[in-house]
């Protein structure tokens, strides 16, 4: 457990609504190793996104401890956590969440503005990231000039540009047609295998989940089933 | 590094209608502020244009201005014996007894107001030097009922045209020349022959004031002390610049009005900017959450939104300054007047839109933007990421 990249110990999360405590996650224990590709499944309201938010450092647990890359993030203060996120986490959202007034290039560059890289270095990183997602020729396009699949690829380029250890993806194919979804999943697979990114993906889609090494099931806040993905062997066989 | 400014600028362009309306609101406030302030500046400038630092104005003790002052002939004779008075090229002492009377005449809009008629001897022009000079027509002749008027007075009073007659009661002066007094308070006056003015106004016992030129500043101060201390004279004396400074109180109510009107309007315009920015924070909730998730701190978000609002204010300030500039240089070129409470007469001046005023107008607009943006920006910075990410 000590060598795991992500270590979640006895984590509970409850939200307060007026005087009511609404439990979302109950005593979760989970470890994820470097280079794993995890699919997090479960019905709506089961706490998938909450768990994802906790390990991405945009929410804090009510109880328990989260250690990532040997640092306990569950006790970090707001500003420290923001800095940590910039260094360690790449976000991929269902609705891409690109900034509409910035070009693809500028959107991808955003996370690098939080680093000490020079302008030239930033430009080089952005070009590399756009090349990885196959959108070098769309650098000057605004989000409204791109298809859904292309927007999500730009969002993925933004997620990887600062070279984070972990990519968190919340329903990354949820708003895409089957073909674009397939391309995005291929891209995630490639980032996992070729670029060794650890990926935690929330999804409703069994076909998306099949791309992962491990499938985790959350139900009513309890991590109930943990099973190896059926697709794992297939992908290892190179098919 | 923070969020790039182009993010804010492009957002301003994308929502051009609401940007334009907010900018216009701020621009109008700045325009009104600048116009009223340039009125006040015009008055201040008029009084600040002193003719010479060596000139001394001599008045009755307690008289606020030459209009309600009296200097007897004996007092005048005593003054002329004092040391330190400068002499002209012809050896004549540079001290000018002057008689001031008010005439009530109609302006271009038909309303009547008081204008100063100043009776002077030729020495008065030597004391004022080049700052009072004839620009049209000729000088009045001594011993006649001829007069010269300032360019501003000519522009404001139809009777005071070249060849016209300034009349009040039984008093009559024919206008034979137009003079320019370099923007000083004399630019609001009619000048005529001293003795003629005294006769027509039935004031032959003395003068309103004596204006004297000292040889140097030390002599000026000694002269002032002598006039105040001499038992024969017992008059008040002060440098001409101080005399006019005291009259700049006329500008004070205008300035107060400018600030009062501007502050009330500015509060309105700030709320306009605030409304725009609140709407923007609501519309961009998910963007803000995304940037926070990427690692931008609350402070960076706050600064970014405040900056956007300040840019709005800045654009409004520039537009307002441009409108005021055009208004002053194209439409408000004619001299205007206000009551000089010290002399009960009208003081004429032009709008003075100085670079310093323009800068203050723009700074004022930045303040409106800052105030308008602060609360919406604070709301943006306080957004909880997980809630905001769920916003559509």
Residues 158-187 of A with CB under 8 A from B: 158
% of chain B at pLDDT higher than 90: 12
Q: How far apart are CA B309 and CA B12, in angstroms?
A: 9
Query: Count H helices, E strands: chain B?
Result: 13, 14
pLDDT recorded at residue A149:
93
Taking the Cβ of residue A230 and every Cβ of chain B, the question of whether any pair is shorter than 8 Å is answered with no
Q: How far apart are CA A213 and CA A16, in angstroms?
A: 35
Q: What confidence tier does A112 reach under pLDDT thresholds 50, 70, 90?
A: very high
Residue B337 has pLDDT above 70, yes or no: no
Minimal CA separation from B278 to chain A, in Å = 18
Q: How far apart are CA A207 and CA A69, in angstroms?
A: 30
What average pLDDT does the segment A20-33 reach? Answer: 90
**B294: its two tokens:** 């990427």
Residue A62 has pLDDT above 80, yes or no: yes
Question: Cβ contacts of residue A115 below 8 Å, gap of 6+?
Answer: A86, A122, A162
pLDDT recorded at residue A228:
56
**What domains are defined for chain A?**
6-236 (3.40.50.300)
Residues of B in contact with A102 (CB under 8 A): 6-7, 10
Cβ atoms < 10 Å from Cβ of A26? 16
Residue A2 has pLDDT above 50, yes or no: no
Q: How far apart are CA B332 and CA B324, in angstroms?
A: 10
Instruction: Please report how the helices B355-382 and B16-48 are oriented relative to each other, as an axis angle in degrees rounded to 10.
Output: 140
Between chain A and chain B, how many beta carbons pairs sit less than 8 Å apart? Answer: 67
Q: Is the alpha carbon torsion for B39, B40, B42, B43 positive or negative?
A: positive
User: For residue B63, with 0-12 CB atoms within 10 Å meaning exposed, 13-18 middle and 19 or more buried, which class applies?
Assistant: middle
Interface test with A, best of B2, B6, B10, B294 (most A CBs within 10 A): B294
| Three-state secondary-structure class, residue A233 | helix
For the ranges A165-174, A222-231, B101-110, B134-143, which has the lowest average pLDDT? A222-231
Residue B130 has pLDDT above 70, yes or no: yes
pLDDT tens digits for B237-269?
Answer: 888 888 877 776 666 777 787 778 778 877 777
Q: How far apart are CA A101 and CA B392, in angstroms?
A: 17
The strand ranges marked E within chain B are 55-59, 71-72, 95-106, 112-120, 133-137, 146-150, 165-168, 171-180, 190-193, 206-207, 209-213, 236-239, 336-340, 345-349
Question: Residue B104: which of B349, B350, B344 has the closest Cα?
Answer: B344
Give the side-chain half-sphere CA count within 13 A for B181: 31
Residue A231 has pLDDT above 50, yes or no: no
Q: How far apart are CA A76 and CA A55, in angstroms?
A: 12
The strand ranges marked E within A36-95 are 37-41, 63-68, 71-72, 89-92
Residue B377 has pLDDT above 90, yes or no: no
What average pLDDT does the segment A170-181 reach? Answer: 90
**B336: its two tokens:** 């205007």
pLDDT tens digits for B31-64?
Answer: 888 888 887 777 777 766 656 788 899 988 887 7
pLDDT recorded at residue B341:
58
Question: Residue A111: which of B33, B328, B1 has the closest Cα?
Answer: B1
What average pLDDT does the segment B376-386 reach? Answer: 87
Chain-chain contact of B386 with A91 (C-beta, under 8 angstroms): no
Residue B22 has pLDDT above 50, yes or no: yes
Q: How far apart are CA B274 and CA B256, in angstroms?
A: 26
Q: What confidence tier does A157 reach under pLDDT thresholds 50, 70, 90?
A: very high
Chain-chain contact of B294 with A91 (C-beta, under 8 angstroms): yes
Q: How far apart are CA B106 and CA A85, in angstroms?
A: 77
> Residues of B254-273 as b/e, b for ≥16 C-beta within 10 angstroms?
bbeebeeebeebbeebbebb
- What CA–CA distances, in Å, run from B1 to A83, A113, A118, A120? 12, 6, 11, 15
pLDDT tens digits for B289-320?
Answer: 899 999 998 888 899 988 998 998 999 999 99
Chain-chain contact of B389 with A93 (C-beta, under 8 angstroms): yes
- φ, ψ at B57 (rounded to 5°): -100, 125
Taking the Cβ of residue B286 and every Cβ of chain A, the question of whether any pair is shorter than 8 Å is answered with yes
- What CA–CA distances, in Å, run from B326 to A38, B267, B269, B351, B353? 67, 25, 22, 12, 10
Q: How far apart are CA B215 and CA B219, in angstroms?
A: 6
Residues of B in contact with A85 (CB under 8 A): 293-295
- What CA–CA distances, in Å, run from B316 to A207, B30, B245, B338? 55, 8, 34, 30
């Amino acid at each position: 457990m000590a060598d795991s990249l992500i270590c979640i110990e006895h984590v509970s999360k409850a939200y307060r609504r007026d005087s009511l405590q609404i439990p979302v996650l109950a005593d979760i224990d989970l470890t994820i190793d470097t280079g794993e590709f995890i699919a997090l499944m479960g019905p709506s309201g089961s706490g998938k996104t909450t768990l994802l938010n906790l390990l991405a450092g945009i929410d804090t647990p009510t109880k328990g401890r989260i250690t990532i890359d040997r640092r306990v993030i569950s006790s970090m203060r707001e500003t420290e956590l923001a800095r940590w996120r910039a260094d360690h986490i790449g976000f991929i959202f269902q609705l891409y969440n690109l900034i509409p007034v910035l070009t693809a290039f500028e959107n991808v560059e955003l996370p690098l503005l939080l680093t000490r890289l020079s302008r030239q270095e930033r430009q080089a990183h952005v070009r590399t990231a756009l090349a990885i997602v196959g959108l070098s020729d769309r650098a000057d396009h605004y989000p409204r000039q791109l298809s859904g699949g292309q927007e999500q690829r730009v969002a993925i380029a933004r997620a990887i540009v600062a070279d984070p250890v972990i990519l968190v993806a919340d329903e990354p194919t949820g708003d895409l047609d089957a073909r674009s979804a397939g391309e995005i999943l291929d891209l995630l697979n490639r980032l996992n295998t070729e670029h060794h990114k650890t990926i935690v993906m929330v999804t409703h889609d069994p076909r998306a989940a099949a791309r992962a090494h491990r499938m985790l099931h959350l139900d009513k806040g309890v991590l109930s089933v943990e099973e190896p993905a059926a697709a794992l062997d297939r992908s290892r066989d190179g098919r | 590094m923070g969020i790039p400014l182009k993010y804010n600028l492009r957002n301003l362009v994308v929502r051009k209608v609401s940007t334009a309306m907010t900018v216009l609101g701020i621009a109008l406030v700045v325009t009104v502020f600048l116009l009223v302030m340039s009125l006040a500046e015009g008055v201040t400038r008029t009084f600040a244009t002193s003719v010479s630092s060596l000139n001394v104005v001599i008045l009755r003790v307690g008289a606020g201005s030459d209009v309600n002052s009296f200097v007897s002939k004996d007092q005048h004779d005593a003054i002329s014996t004092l040391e330190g008075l400068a002499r002209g090229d012809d050896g004549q002492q540079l001290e000018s007894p002057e008689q001031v009377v008010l005439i009530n005449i109609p302006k271009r809009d038909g309303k009547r107001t008081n204008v100063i008629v100043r009776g002077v001897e030729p020495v008065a022009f030597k004391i004022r030097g080049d700052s009072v000079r004839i620009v049209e027509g000729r000088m009045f002749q001594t011993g006649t009922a001829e007069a010269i008027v300032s360019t501003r007075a000519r522009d404001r009073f139809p009777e005071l045209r070249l060849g016209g007659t300034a009349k009040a009661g039984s008093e009559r002066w024919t206008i034979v020349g137009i003079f320019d007094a370099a923007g000083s308070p004399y630019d609001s006056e009619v000048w005529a022959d001293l003795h003629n003015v005294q006769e027509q106004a039935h004031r032959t016992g003395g003068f309103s004031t004596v204006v004297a030129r000292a040889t140097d500043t030390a002599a000026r101060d000694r002269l002032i002390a002598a006039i105040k201390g001499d038992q024969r004279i017992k008059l008040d004396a002060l440098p001409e610049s101080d005399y006019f400074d005291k009259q700049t109180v006329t500008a004070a109510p205008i300035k107060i009005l400018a600030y009062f009107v501007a502050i009330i309007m500015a509060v309105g315009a700030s709320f306009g900017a605030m409304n725009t920015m609140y709407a923007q924070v609501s519309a961009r909730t998910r963007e803000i959450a995304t940037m926070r998730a990427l690692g931008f701190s609350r402070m960076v978000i706050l600064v970014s939104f405040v900056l956007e609002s300040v840019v709005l204010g800045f654009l409004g300030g520039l537009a307002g300054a441009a409108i005021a500039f055009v208004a002053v240089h194209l439409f408000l070129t004619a001299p205007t007047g206000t009551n000089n409470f010290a002399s009960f007469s009208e003081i004429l001046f032009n709008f003075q839109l100085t670079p310093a005023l323009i800068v203050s107008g723009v700074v004022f607009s930045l303040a409106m933007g800052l105030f308008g943006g602060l609360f919406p920006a604070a709301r943006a910075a306080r957004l909880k990421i997980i809630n905001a990410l769920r916003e559509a």
